[in-house]
Amino acid sequence: RGRYSQGGSIARQAAKFGEMIAVCDVDDRHTAEFNQAFGERLHMYRDYRELLSQERPQVVTIGTPDHWHVPIAIAALRAGSDVYCEKPLTLTIDEGKQICQVVKETGRVFQVGTQQRSQDNSRFLQAIAMVHSGRLGKNVRAAVAIGGGPSCPPIEGAAAPDDLDWNMWLGPAQEAEYSEQRRMEFRWFYQYSGGKMTDWGAHHIDIAQWALGHDQSGPIKVHGQGQLPEIVPPQFDWAAFFSGRQQLPSAFNTAMNFSIEVEYADGAQMSVHDNYERPEDNIQFGNGILFEGDAGRIFVNRGKLEGRPIDALSEADQRELDEIVVELYKGKQPGNHMGNFFECRQDGSLPISDVYTHHRTMTTCHLCNIALMLGRELRWDPQQQRFADDEAANQLLSRESRPGFTA
């Protein structure tokens, strides 16, 4: 019947900081299960618009499939709620521009669920501190591996369960027949997500771009190669898909493997891979970030932080890095990501995973996907947030929403 593990998880985390009053899900079974966990005292809804109108909540957490993140978040912000939304926040680059503007207009607190910025023993912040302190030397380059997506045979449609509002699940996406596979594995459909590029890119590209000093800007050039599932026609009209005039095949359709180069205006470079291999240096990893400069090399993922000069740090060196980590965390001690959100609600400061830097992260993720779709080099203007003299690519900045579901 599908999963709601992440949406339920962040809601339960938020409940530690306040009173839970209502739950909304298009699946009646999910709302009933969640309500039961709270003593069956919550008000239950299928339509988030009714919840916002009738409950007027102070805080909204969002853990839906990706294509619903921005429409619900914008509605919540305009209803006066502070928002904690799961990653990846956006389905398109223009969605990111739109929600940044709404956050600015409403003045609400907005945190994105990229918890690597807060948790995992601060090892990602330690890695960034190593780069920013100059301990890796100059000309630091990042290599990111995030895994690839699967393929599958064509998916047959079926009747949706009676206690599921399938039309509402689809929301702004194109009409499609129900299937349990489509619903449970939505990340592998460009209709609802961006594949591994946005799923794990929202984490690792985020950290790499922050370390390289471009978390508030973005690249100027993106190029590379990759492979989509065979069911996607080689000359598929992506502009027609983005405008709603053409459907993708009913099967997994996001990138299975890829190797992409990302370049920034100051010469900084990052590469993004499904799997990174460099046999001559005995380097191979499928998930993590490798930072290399002319004075050192370190590797970080959720399980470890290793390399030199990490292995040779003195106590004084570590104290200096710890001070940089606090600076990176906006003068606070890193800790619970949800806790940071509620703390920022109290003191009015910007959350550690704010909407503006996350939009820049997601822009880079989307640029990588667009480069794969079009199969050529792209030149990007991070200030204008448009492709330079490339109208074909600019047609992929936004998507047409189904009537009645426009944010």
Inter-helix orientation angle 5-15/28-37, to 10°? 30
Considering the domain architecture, whether residues 271 and 371 belong to the same structural domain is answered as yes
Decide if 370 contacts 82 (C-beta within 8 A): no
Q: Say if 351 falls within a structural domain.
A: no
What is residue 61's three-state secondary structure?
A: strand
Query: Does residue 347 belong to any structural domain of this protein?
Result: no
Q: Are residues 183 and 323 in the same domain?
A: yes
Confidence of residue 309 (pLDDT cuts 50, 70, 90): confident
Shared domain check, 81 and 29 = yes
Is residue 1's pLDDT more than 60? no
* Per-residue pLDDT reduced to its tens digit, 137-189: 999 999 999 999 999 999 999 999 999 999 999 999 999 999 999 999 999 99
| Together in a domain, 308 and 165 | yes
Q: Are 227 and 257 in contact (CB under 8 A)?
A: yes
| Mean pLDDT of the region 323-327 | 97
Kindly report the CATH number assigned to the domain that includes residue 98: 3.40.50.720
Reference 145, options 198, 207, 195, 204; nearest CA is: 204
Instruction: Tell me if 407 sits within 8 A of 401, measured CB to CB.
Output: yes
Please give the C-alpha separations between residue 219 and each of 27, 139, 255, 265, in angstroms, as whole numbers: 40, 16, 21, 7
The residues near 178 (Cβ < 8 Å, ≥ 6 apart) are: 157, 158, 159, 160, 164, 166
Instruction: Let me know: does 226 contact 258? Beta carbons within 8 Å.
Output: yes
- Region 8-28 average pLDDT: 96
pLDDT at 175 (0 to 100): 97
**Are 126 and 112 found together in one domain?**
no
Tell me: do 103 and 23 sit in the same domain: yes
Q: Do 19 and 86 fall within a single domain? A: yes
Task: Compute CA distances 397 → 39, 91, 94, 294, whole Å.
Answer: 44, 10, 6, 37
Band of pLDDT at residue 2, cut at 50, 70 and 90: very low
Confidence of residue 74 (pLDDT cuts 50, 70, 90): very high
What is the rounded CA–CA span in Å between residue 189 and residue 193? Answer: 6
Q: Which two three-digit tokens encode residue 406?
A: 């426009």
Q: How many domains does the chain have?
A: 2
CB of 295 within 8 A of CB of 136? yes
C-alpha 80/C-alpha 94 separation (Å) is 23
Helix ranges restricted to H, 185-277: 196-199, 201-211, 238-242
Examine the domain organization and report whether 239 and 382 are in the same domain: yes
Same structural domain, 293 and 229: yes
Task: Tell me which residue range forms the domain holding 112.
Answer: 5-117
- Average pLDDT of the chain to the nearest whole number: 96
Whether residue 346 is contained in a domain is answered as no
CB atoms within 10 A of CB 224: 19
pLDDT score, position 407: 77
pLDDT at 7: 80
Whether 169 and 67 map to the same domain: the answer is no
What stretches of 144-261 show up as alpha helix (H) in DSSP?
A: 166-170, 180-184, 196-199, 201-211, 238-242
Which residue, of 117, 132, 159, is where some domain finishes?
A: 117
**pLDDT confidence bin for 5, thresholds 50/70/90:** low
Backbone angles phi, psi at 353, to 5 degrees: -115, 70
Q: Is residue 349 situated within a structural domain?
A: no
Q: Of 272, 265, 275, 236, nearest to 364 (Cα)?
A: 272
Residue 204 scores a pLDDT above 90 = yes
Whether the predicted pLDDT of 28 surpasses 80: yes
Confidence of residue 372 (pLDDT cuts 50, 70, 90): very high
For residue 30 the two structure tokens come to: 């999910």
224 in helix, strand or coil?
Answer: strand
Which of 117, 143, 178 is where one domain is finished? 117
pLDDT at 106 over 80: yes
- Other CB atoms within 10 A of residue 134 CB: 12
Residue 12 has pLDDT above 80, yes or no: yes
Q: Is residue 399 part of a domain?
A: no
Distance CA 330, CA 246 (A): 45
Mean pLDDT of 79-87: 99
